[in-house]
Structure 1
Amino acid sequence: MSEPLGRFAQQRPQRVRVQAPQDASLDIPATRPEQSAENFYVRQLISSQLRLAVAVAAGLLIMLVGISAILVFWPVVSQIMLFNIPLPWWILGVGIYPLIIIAGLLYNRAATRNERRYRSISR
């Protein structure tokens, strides 16, 4: 025995079935996995250390090129002798090393500061 259609049954719309097309692909495109915070901070540490190393190397290179250019373009300097050795030899042979040591110490201090900052964030 069928039930008589009630007042609400008449107002309800007919159900519609929604389907994907038969040729639709179910493959989900491969996306890059989300970076974890640790990976992000490690990459930041590596990039800051690389920037620091490039800056120190560029500074030393500019210093060496600058000193060499001064010695080449200012010929009066090559006439100066200290203990029978020309001044350019003293500058390039002895005077550069303290500057390289100072640059190394400053680099070491800055690299340590970067690592300390990383450790304080990663804990």
Structure 2
Amino acid sequence: MKRDSPEAPLPGRFAEQRPQRVRVQAPQDASLTIATAKPEHTAQEFYVQQLIRSQLRLACAVAAGLLTMLVGISALLAFWPAVYEFALWHIPLPWWILGVGIYPLIIVAGMLFNGAAARNEKRYRSISRD
């Protein structure tokens, strides 16, 4: 392009090179609708889900502990045959251990679970009040 031609833009004249601005408007009869739907997750729902997860985790841990204890005692009795030589009132000791001795352990595990579950719920209630 030549500089002296009238069609060639001069380097300092950017205003002539810009396109004209266009104003965009919504139609006058258009109404603005705002969704009043409830948000997907509120903080309270989040905390309730966390409480449920913590209670489930606690229940699985207690169940796994009890199962491990029962399998361990059974394995100990199976692999240690000298225990069968002891008897109380003509009943072998392994029967006493599995039939009577397990129940206090189950009760203790239940009491520990109940206390931990109450602590979880207390923690949830302290958070939900805020």
Which range, TM-score by smaller chain? 0.7 to 0.9
1:85 equivalenced with 2:82 (yes/no): no
For 1:15, the aligned partner's letter is Q
1:98 equivalenced with 2:104 (yes/no): yes
How many residue pairs align between the two structures? 101
The sequence identity of aligned pairs, in percent, is 68
Show structure 1 runs of 5+ residues with no match. Answer: 1-9, 20-32
Q: Choose from 62, 67, 71 the match for 2:73.
A: 67
User: Could you give the per-residue CA deviations for residues 26-67 of structure 1, whole angstroms, max 9, x where no partner exists?
Assistant: xxxxxxx54211111011000000000000000000000000
User: Could you give the per-residue CA deviations for residues 61-91 of structure 1, whole angstroms, max 9, x where no partner exists?
Assistant: 0000000000000000011111211000000
Match of 1:56 in 2: 62
Match of 1:113 in 2: 119
- Quote the Cα distance in structure 2 between the aligned partners of 1:50 and 1:68: 27
Higher relative contact order (CA 8 A, sep 6+): 1
Report the structure number with the largest CA radius of gyration. 2
Show structure 2 runs of 5+ residues with no match. Answer: 1-13, 25-38
More helix by share: 1
| Map 1:2-81 → 2, pairs under 5 A | 11=15, 13-15=18-20, 34-81=40-87
- TM-score norm. by structure 2 comes to 0.71
